[in-house]
A and B are shown apart, each in its own frame.
Chain A
Amino acid sequence: MSLPKVDLAPRRGPGFLQVVGQDRMKLALLLAAVDPLIGGVLIRGERGTAKSTLARALAAVLPPREVVVGCRFHCRPSAGDLCDECRKRSEGGRQLPLEMVPTGMVELPLGATEDRVVGSIDLEFALSSGEVKFQPGVLAEANGQVLYVDEVNLLDHHLVDVLLDAAASGRNFVEREGVSASHPSHFILIGTMNPEEGELRPQLLDRFGLCVDVVGLRDPEQRVRVMESDLDLAGPASGDEGLRFRLAEARRRLPEVELPRNLIRAAARMAVDQQVVGHRADLVMVRASRALAALRPGPSGAVRPAGLQDLMEVSELALVHRRRVAGSWVPPVAEGARDQGADAPGPGGEPGPSEGGEGGEEGGGETGEGSQSSSPGPAGEAASGRAGPMPAPPAASVELEERYEAGRLQLPHERRRRRGSGRRSRTTSQDRRGRYVSSRWQEKTTDLALDATLRAAAPHQVERRSAAPTADGKAIQLERQDLRQKVRQRRIGNLIVFLVDASASMDAEQRMDATRSAILALLREAYVRRDRVAMVSFAGRSARVVLRPTSSVDLAERQLSRLAVGGTTPLTHGLVAALDLIQAERRRDQEVLPLLVLISDGRGNISLRGDEPLREAQAAAAEIQRARIHTVVIDTSRDHPPPNQTAGSPLLAGYHFNACADLSRRLGGEYFALFDVTEQGILRPVAEALRRGA
């Protein structure tokens, strides 16, 4: 397919400088443009804050680049990296012809398939000549340009991996469909995302050199300017020309900018203090400082060395997404001052205990943990210590540790899916739903990947046609080994249904509160919003769906705000209501992965069908097991004997009968006794169950 060489850029928006405010975001983008080695920018923020607009506007101000004429991969000899074709052309010291071309932006849409990202066999060429030729993909197009991924947190894992590989090595290696090729792929990766939609994988997070968290403007005056500037967008973008010149100048200055040793030291110290993972942060801070010095030269455009001022301005951009401990950002002013030789004591009056401290917050923090941490190792090592150096008052440190603990609760999702265990072995590719990401050969093709099939068949067409000519000599001859199956991926969420005993007992209130906060924690921690959580409570004479399956923290918070407790224990009602709820969800989506979490003392005393309450509950439990619903039973009774003692004991509800353990056996689930019901106490078994692949 020959694309017309007319106007390929699909979008046109406002100019970079026409976007009102958002100075941090602009700074980050410009720095990344000055020095592509910084490694791109991730922009996180609430909806409607000009994230995408600004990212796209960057393309218009990028200086032109010098590429090899006619190279399909936009090779730039100045980058010191050539594709196989250019290497061949330049053999024997031949000079490659060069030309200046505009630099732009290549977008990776969320619905992209792998063949288009990495490139694949040239179909039409293969059909006509029977030869294999590589057809470049997005990674080739992006070479030397900006690669933009909107909603990058929603990009398919598979594509993320491909992207990471290329970003890390600067080269795209292709071994597929009989094509074997490699070409340079250096790009400035820019991603935007709304964290409400789910977090980014830590690995990808670290790959972005800089990160900005944007919020909407809170100043009415600026907001009015946003509305006014929206009116002028019909006109041409203004101010871009000057900015492009500034960027070109900054790039020219960049190699000449000096990096004083104390700047590098200060960057390293900041990285240690902020407990970042790995060493990329130091490097990025140094490079960004240099880029800033190049962008803002001295008087009359003279090259000046990078200074601590530059470092301070860029440090947050490099650290915000790499810090392991959540917390408010403390501008590292004291660090810089100390490094310059003014070794001033902290406000607490003590001589700062070496590198551990955060300037002003150390006074009196030298208890247990604090003193242990006074000499932290390099950042990488600090990662293994759980609490890490945390010279803060004990109370605060406990809180921080808790927060960190919660942050580590990583729920496994479809990773488990790939392993394919037990009843969940049915692969997503077989129900023809989900996003088509790549293709493979398989014994029996049920979901034909036409494009891949054609590519597989193409190189053989010339010989097949000569062996068995068709009527028009054009139609493609397919053979069985050509057929390719679509590999689809679909986000599969867990459905976690909490079934909570709200009957009157000594810790009913606590139970409800703990469950409520466990639900909220689960929803907040969900890696991408695929998990849904529901809650059914039972008390008095009925069960009630308190929270319908949702992934919305807001909704959960609203609906769980008031939970009534008290009354008798209609356990069976609860089990049946939970079962109904899960079955209804299954009817809607067969692939839903349910997990039922029962939190109760298991002593039902209200009959649903006129039978003995315990017996009824056991029957309901058996039904749930038959429905192949995985369960976790959290026993909240305080006087339970060990569960194995009662195994096989008669039904009679004697004092020593462990009702919950019995129930959990009948449910085919897991049993946990919990003396004090807490949020963590509930979350742990749930996370465990999910991790094991239920």
Chain B
Amino acid sequence: MSEPRSVYPFTALVGQTRMRLALELNAVNPSIGGVLIRGQKGTAKSTAVRALARLLPEIQVIRGCRYGCDPLSERLCLECQQRRADGEELVAEPRRMRVVELPINASEDRVVGSIDLEAAIQSGQRRFQPGVLAEANRQILYVDEVNLLDDHIVDVLLDAAAMGVNVVEREGISVWHPARFILVGTMNPEEGDLRPQLLDRFGLCVDVEGISDLSERVEIVLRREAFEEDPEGFQASWADAEERLRVQIAEAMALLPQVEVGRPVLEAIARLSIALDVDGHRADLVGRKAAQALAALRGGRSAGIAEVAEVAPMVLSHRVRSHPGQRPPDVSEVASRVLGEA
């Protein structure tokens, strides 16, 4: 595992509550579809993402599977299917979730996987060498500066993110494997836009800014200093808070299926999307899941208008269309108006 040993605790982050909430919601329900974090450098984006992985409960994977198949899933990868067909007993083992990073200069064969060099040269066998998408299955796939990613890498990323499968037809190889991941991206909007198709793939989007509150800024420096000086000690002093949040997330995950989203709430979500003239229906689906996850996170048994209103900016801000010569509509303003009527 390439993760640094000492990770800054999630709970020790100062401010940036929207970003943290967006990440927590994804932890509770990964099918929300990830987060895009827009903002300048040095706003704790990467720190928060890495810290999040520590809060996620362990997952069960099939031992020896290169893709980390879920033993309870009815759709196993080709290799697991083959092993089962060969009569092998598939054994589950726990694994910690982690952050798989996709560097922006990654080559396509590294991302989707390619022909196994060694096997090919030594024995002339065509074997598949999995890439980043395989590694990221059931993990967090983190793309820093996602807007600078090469076009064709974005294409394959989209392909995989869309259906949770990576289909490979290249270099003599023809395979598919599961590639379901929480996509987390960061970008600095000044360096260019993201393609709309990719933008839409991110379930939530938050804009982060540097904190302007003086005392908070001081607190950031102090905590950072303390962490650099003595990472273990710092982590120990935050262990309780981390444990509380971990338990909260685990309980929310368990509670999630029972959280109800009533019909009037669904109608409110639909009306909000229509009022904002967003493309397609993904906003609705994500909105429902996010409101549900928020209710679960707070221990509630049903999600209401209040939850919808709270997640609305994260769900919708990157999906509103701007019209020629007009400023894009203010999501929170429209939300409070439309939801106020409900």
Contacts and interface: CB of A to CB of B under 8 A. Distances in A.
A458 B151 CA distance: 34
A224 B176 CA distance: 34
Contact of A123 (B172, B273, B280): B172
Interface string B260-274: 000100110111011
Given A48-B282, A435-B108, A451 B196 contact: no
Contact of B325 (A230, A435, A461, A557): A557
A433 B124 CA distance: 27
B115 A197 contact: no
A111 interface: yes
B156 interface: yes
B75 interface: yes
Nearest to A433: B150
Contact of B192 (A112, A224, A226, A548): A548
Contact of B121 (A56, A476, A561): A476
B163 A11 contact: yes
B271 A220 contact: yes
Contacts of B274: 218, 220, 223
B267 A220 contact: yes
A113 B174 CA distance: 10
Interface centre among A45, A436, A475 (most CB of B within 10 A): A436
A216 B279 contact: yes
Contacts of B271: 220
Nearest to B115: A451
B228 interface: no
B165 A123 contact: no
A552 B321 CA distance: 12
Contacts of A530: 151
Interface in A657-684: none
Contacts of B281: 48-50, 216-217, 223, 226-227
Interface string B296-332: 0000000000000000000000000110110110000
A474 interface: yes
Given A11-B163, A124-B126, A434-B152, A197 B173 contact: no
B65 to A, nearest CB: 14
B193 A197 contact: no
Given A47-B280, A49-B280, A124-B126, A150 B159 contact: yes
Interface in A433-453: 433-436, 449-451
B167 interface: yes
B285 A3 contact: no
A552 to B, nearest CB: 4
B258 interface: no
Interface in A109-155: 109-113, 115-117, 120, 123-124, 127, 135, 137-138, 150-151, 154
A46 B112 CA distance: 26
B251 interface: no
Given A11-B165, A435-B152, A197 B81 contact: no
B155 interface: yes
Interface string A420-441: 0000000000001111100000
Interface in B82-125: 82, 85, 107-109, 112, 115, 117, 120-125
B265 to A, nearest CB: 10
A399 interface: no
27 contacts: A3-B78, A7-B75, A10-B163, A12-B75, A45-B280, A48-B282, A52-B162, A56-B163, A108-B169, A111-B108, A113-B171, A150-B159, A151-B159, A196-B196, A197-B196, A197-B197, A216-B280, A216-B281, A223-B269, A227-B270, A433-B107, A433-B150, A454-B121, A474-B123, A475-B121, A552-B193, A557-B322
Interface of B: 75, 78, 81-82, 85, 107-109, 112, 115, 117, 120-127, 150-152, 155-156, 158-159, 162-163, 165, 167-176, 190, 192-193, 195-197, 200, 263, 266-267, 269-271, 273-274, 278-285, 288, 321-322, 324-325, 327-328
Interface of A: 1, 3-4, 6-8, 10-13, 45-50, 52, 56, 107-113, 115-117, 120, 123-124, 127, 135, 137-138, 150-151, 154, 194, 196-197, 216-218, 220-221, 223-224, 226-228, 230, 432-436, 449-451, 454-455, 458, 461, 474-476, 490-491, 529-530, 548-552, 554-555, 557-558, 561
Report the 9 A-B pairs with minimum CB-CB distance, sorted nearest first.
Answer: A48-B280, A48-B282, A223-B270, A46-B279, A451-B171, A10-B176, A4-B82, A112-B169, A47-B200
